[in-house]
Amino acid sequence: MTLKIGDMAPDFTLSDDREKNITLSHLRGKKVVLFFYPKDNTPGCTREACDFRDQFAAFTKQGVEVFGISKDSAKAHTKFKEKYGLPFPLLVDANADVCEAYGVINKKSMFGKTFLGIQRSTFLIDEQGAIRGIWRKVKVPGHVEQVLNEIQ
């Protein structure tokens, strides 16, 4: 089943880069942005994370919680956050259960090999837990501004 605008966001509990559990349903009453990305410290993922970092004050001003999600470990997330000064939690989805629930695991190919990986995607969730924005196959330049425009 593919998620669509108006659907309730699948609930989850994941640990963050500090090994603190974050449960989506505990964030009711706040808007939430979840951005799914393939891997820490890769060029596209770094640029996307830094774009969210650079606009973090604008998200905070709108009362929005921002979370990055990938299959990387807490240790990898911590290094990534420290290296680039990322002010938001990075969540560990080691088994890709949340990625599966949000439909962001897709076939990818590199160097002639096909594999399953995270498709760069972002979800905007409202205060009641409903999905209000979905961006799939995200192209990084200008993406964070698109998300901010949707919130405003």
Single out the catalytic residue among 45, 98, 124, 125: 45
Q: Let me know: does 27 contact 36? Beta carbons within 8 Å.
A: no
Q: Let me know: does 135 contact 146? Beta carbons within 8 Å.
A: yes
DSSP the chain: ----TTSBPPP-EEEETTS-EEEGGGGTTSEEEEEE-S-TTSHHHHHHHHHHHHTHHHHHHTTEEEEEEES--HHHHHHHHHHHT--S-EEE-TT-HHHHHTT-EEEEEETTEEEEEEPPEEEEE-TTSBEEEEE-S--STTHHHHHHHHH-
Residue 45 known to be catalytic: yes
* Beta-ladder partners of 105: 118
Active site (catalytic) residues: 45
